[in-house]
Structure 1
Amino acid sequence: MNDILATDLIYIFVFCMAGLAFAVGPFVAVYLLAPRMLRTTQQKTGQAIECGMDPIGDAWIRYSAVYYLYALVFVAFAVDVLYLIPVALVYGREFVVRDLVELSLFVGILSLVIIYAWKKGVFEWKRR
């Protein structure tokens, strides 16, 4: 019993260390691999350096609120599709009619969201 508990704790510890390595590893790699001259140039000028070229103009671009709404709708539907794929694979084994009704309700509610967004003008890109 104690051997199983110790083995489980080792697995949990290794999993946590791997997660920490994946989180901190990129920062350490960038610090070690970044050219030293680039760091001092950036500190002197106070500008963002991208691709080794000096920036031209202002970096702040104003996007319309419609862009963010469009992106939000896209993310919501991407998550819903990720939910639908495994559900569709599991459903249909015993209660076929009930499963079809449940999936139809889910997709119907999603369709109402698209219709609402369409009526609000989220999908219209108007230029100023």
Structure 2
Amino acid sequence: MGVIYVEIPSDTEDKDVEHFGKAFRKSLNFRFEEHISFTAQLMKKILGDNGEADRRPKWRRALEAFKNSGTVYKTKHNKLPVIVYDNISRLINTNPKVLDTLQDDAKMSTDHREYSICQQ
């Protein structure tokens, strides 16, 4: 275990990366609208609830969830989790900024031994 497979959908359009976010979420079995954590609830109580939803793109939230769970996995199993991006070349023309972000994250995560990346 410890491997997450994310297939980049072919219908990822230039300004709409929701399809990628949904594919990422499905790979992680992650729900974006599920109950918030105790820590988040506490922060809302302390800082106040401004009524605003998390406006980050879904793929960024899913990546953050993977990173958090990867830390737990690494501690528990003493090995790095792996994320596989299949068909990542689909992002070259449609979403180069997303591709750059994923590549930068891959470099930093590998350098810091947080998790490994495999791009196909």
| TM-score normalized with structure 2 length | 0.28
Query: Which structure exhibits the higher relative contact order, with contacts defined as CA atoms closer than 8 Å and separated by 6 or more residues?
Result: 2
Larger radius of gyration: 1
| TM-score normalized with structure 1 length | 0.27
Q: Which has the higher strand share?
A: 2
